[in-house]
Amino acid sequence: MSEPSAAAGPPVYSVSQVLAGLKGLLQDRVGRLWVSGEVSNLRVPASGHAYFTLKDDAGQLRAVLFRGAARRLAFDPEDGLEVLAYGELTVYESRGDLQLIVQQLEPRGRGALQLAFEQLRGRLEGEGLFDAERKQELPAWPRVVGVVTSSGAAALRDVVHVVERRFPAQPLLLASSRVQGAGAEDELAAALEALDAQPDVEVILLVRGGGSLEDLQPFNTERLARAIAACATPVVSGVGHEVDVTIADLAADLRAATPSAAAAAALPDRERVAIRLDRDARRLVTAGRRAIERMRNRADAGAESLRLQAPRERLAARRGQLVAAGRALRREIQALLAARAAGMAASAGRLETLSPLGVVARGYAIVERAVDGAIVRRAGDVAVGDGLRVRLAEGELDARVEAAREASPSGSRRS
Amino acid sequence: MADPVEGSGAAAASLPFEDALEKLESLVERLEDGELPLEEALAAFEEGVRLTRNCAEQLERAERRIEELVGEGGEWLRRPADLDEEDED
């Protein structure tokens, strides 16, 4: 090969020509291609363009991702990330650099959405958005349960079925929103905020059925996560299948595995409540009966001595209370008997058999003075010839005192 | 001296479930303490029966109460929900 010599006239090119020529060569022969490598020396100045180097063990290649393409990325490029870059190989002439103008960037080894999820989770977790201390407790008896979901969706049907099983009368307030597709997170956030603003909504369910990572994407956005965090009302999430965990789930006050589980967590259980109510009714009745028996025992033992203890006015007031109590008890007997007739057999019937009125039914009576309705407790309350009204379990008697005998100081009962 | 037993008959009918249940249970406790004089005990019992019935009625209710928030003219309004039984998923 002969040595080049300027004198013989081989072509001589300027620097610019060389570079332009190389650029043209690349354009014709190479054009666009996929390159894999590791991101390093990443710089993102104010312009928004991302400048970095793609490298492997043996070499490195300058790269640039312009702002438009950078904004389209679901994830943030970072140093150390293994990527696949698609772009145009060219020469940056003013510096004489080989450069890859990247149009598309994907992480290697995971999907872009998966990486985006991990990055967002890390960032929000670092801010403390998912901290346990931030989680609010659910109310035991929410006045109204709010539900954010797509109307007509299976998730809503699941929630309604659970409500019907556990507490059919529980008021629900629905706010509809798209649950997938671009911009759905804005609608979800708006629905959440609208429910939060309603004062009687005391818990909110955020639910949707299962789907792909793309489908669930709105539930993995920062927008929705911040809306949940800002929500003053407790939020229960039930998104996707059991194995799906979304950013919304992490931000919620309680995460349920499915929409049905979310509804179950928010509602009181009617069966358990009915058992508790029944227990309370029994205690009420037992306590009421004991109160009356205690009163009778005390009266028999002569432990009370109204007339001696109290001044005249207070005595009169006491008598008035007794009149009212007597009337109330009378109304109660009538109400309970009427309720049984009306068919509320279970509660009313049970109450009647066990109640102090059951005491009455066993042959004891309530005795009132005819003149003022005062309940007669002691023989000393009446005089011979006084009219009496005797209230039995069924019916009343008008009677007159023929004789009155006080209990002896030892407290023996009159049979 | 025990606190006077409060509450009127009219109030018992309109209490929200949670409040009625709580009131019933505190009333039962007071009755169980055994310190109430006869007339107050009877009034407490009567009130307890009313509260029990109120709670039982609310538990028995089977009809749905489902409304929807609808955005209209910049405001959110409540409407009875029209539950679409079709599966759109």
pLDDT in tens, A1-20: 445 555 668 999 999 999 99
Judge whether A411 lies within some domain. no
Q: Is the CB of B69 less than 8 angstroms away from the CB of A174?
A: yes
Are residues A285 and A229 part of one domain?
no
Where would I find the beta strands (DSSP E) of A140-242? 144-149, 171-176, 201-208, 235-239
> Domain of A96: which CATH number?
2.40.50.140
Judge whether A5 lies within some domain. no
Give chain B's mean pLDDT: 75
The last residue of a domain, from among A109, A144, A161: A109
φ, ψ dihedrals at A299, nearest 5°: -60, -45
Q: Is the CB of B62 less than 8 angstroms away from the CB of A169?
A: yes
Q: Which two tokens stand for residue A142?
A: 């929410």
Q: With contact defined as beta carbons under 8 Å apart, do A248 and A228 qualify?
A: yes
Please state the rounded mean pLDDT for residues A201-219. 92
Q: Is the CB of A191 less than 8 angstroms away from the CB of B88?
A: no
Are residues A67 and A41 part of one domain?
yes
Most B CBs within 10 A among A174, A321, A327, A336, hence the mutation to make, goes to A174
Are residues A296 and A254 part of one domain?
no
Q: Which residue has the higher pLDDT, A130 or A365?
A: A130
Q: So what's the pLDDT on residue A301?
A: 57
Q: So what's the pLDDT on residue A347?
A: 46
The model's pLDDT over A167-184, given as tens digits with 9 standing for 90+, comes to: 888 999 999 999 999 999
Q: So what's the pLDDT on residue A300?
A: 56
Please state the rounded mean pLDDT for residues A364-380. 80
When pLDDT is cut at 50, 70 and 90, the band that residue A314 belongs to is low
Q: So what's the pLDDT on residue B72?
A: 81
H or E segment and range at residue A36: strand A32-43
Give the count of domains, chain B: 1
Judge whether A209 lies within some domain. yes
Q: So what's the pLDDT on residue A319?
A: 52
Are residues A126 and A105 part of one domain?
no
Q: So what's the pLDDT on residue A345?
A: 40
When pLDDT is cut at 50, 70 and 90, the band that residue A375 belongs to is confident
Q: So what's the pLDDT on residue A346?
A: 47
Between CA A200 and CA A145 the distance in angstroms is 9
Q: So what's the pLDDT on residue A288?
A: 74
Domain that holds residue B26: 9-60
How are beta strands A97-107 and A60-65 bridged, if at all?
parallel
Judge whether B66 lies within some domain. no
Residue A348 has pLDDT above 80, yes or no: no
Residue A336 has pLDDT above 70, yes or no: no
Are residues A45 and A65 part of one domain?
yes
The amino acid at residue A81 is L
The model's pLDDT over A106-158, given as tens digits with 9 standing for 90+, comes to: 998 778 888 999 999 999 999 999 999 999 999 988 999 999 999 878 899 99
> Domain of A203: which CATH number?
3.40.50.261
List CB contacts (< 8 A) between B58 and chain A.
169
Between CA A114 and CA A116 the distance in angstroms is 5
Give the count of domains, chain A: 3
Most B CBs within 10 A among A280, A282, A360, A367, hence the mutation to make, goes to A280
Is B45 in CB contact (< 8 Å) with chain A? yes
When pLDDT is cut at 50, 70 and 90, the band that residue B89 belongs to is very low
Q: With contact defined as beta carbons under 8 Å apart, do A411 and A298 qualify?
A: no
When pLDDT is cut at 50, 70 and 90, the band that residue A341 belongs to is very low
Is A151 in CB contact (< 8 Å) with chain B? yes
Are residues A236 and A157 part of one domain?
yes
Please state the rounded mean pLDDT for residues B28-47. 82
Domain that holds residue A258: 115-268
Q: With contact defined as beta carbons under 8 Å apart, do A143 and A114 qualify?
A: no
Largest pairwise CA distance in chain B: 65
φ, ψ dihedrals at A368, nearest 5°: -125, 150
Q: pTM surpassing 0.90?
A: no
Q: Which residue has the higher pLDDT, A11 or A300?
A: A11
Please state the rounded mean pLDDT for residues B11-27. 80
Q: Is the CB of A277 less than 8 angstroms away from the CB of B52?
A: yes
The amino acid at residue A25 is L
Judge whether B43 lies within some domain. yes
Residue A327 has pLDDT above 90, yes or no: no
Are residues A139 and A192 part of one domain?
yes
When pLDDT is cut at 50, 70 and 90, the band that residue A281 belongs to is confident
Are residues A277 and A244 part of one domain?
no
Q: So what's the pLDDT on residue A339?
A: 47
The model's pLDDT over A20-68, given as tens digits with 9 standing for 90+, comes to: 999 999 999 999 999 999 999 999 999 999 999 999 999 999 999 999 9
Judge whether B27 lies within some domain. yes
Interface predicted TM-score (ipTM) over 0.85: no
Are residues A275 and A253 part of one domain?
no
Residue A398 CB contacts under 8 Å (≥ 6 apart), including other chains: A370, A387, A388, A389, A390
Q: So what's the pLDDT on residue A407?
A: 72
Judge whether A83 lies within some domain. yes
Q: How far is B3 from chain A (nearest CA, A)?
A: 15
Most B CBs within 10 A among A186, A284, A327, A334, hence the mutation to make, goes to A284
The last residue of a domain, from among A268, A299, A318: A268
The model's pLDDT over A229-280, given as tens digits with 9 standing for 90+, comes to: 999 999 999 998 877 799 999 999 999 999 999 999 999 887 778 778 878 8
When pLDDT is cut at 50, 70 and 90, the band that residue B46 belongs to is confident
φ, ψ dihedrals at A389, nearest 5°: -115, 125
Are residues A138 and A73 part of one domain?
no
Judge whether B83 lies within some domain. no
Judge whether B75 lies within some domain. no
Residue B19 has pLDDT above 70, yes or no: yes
A63: left (phi over 0), alpha (psi -120 to 50) or beta: beta
Q: Which chain B residue's Cα is nearest to A319?
A: B39
Judge whether B48 lies within some domain. yes
The last residue of a domain, from among A51, A76, A109: A109
Are residues A148 and A199 part of one domain?
yes
Give chain A's mean pLDDT: 82
Judge whether B52 lies within some domain. yes
Q: Which two tokens stand for residue A306?
A: 């109204």
Q: So what's the pLDDT on residue A224?
A: 97
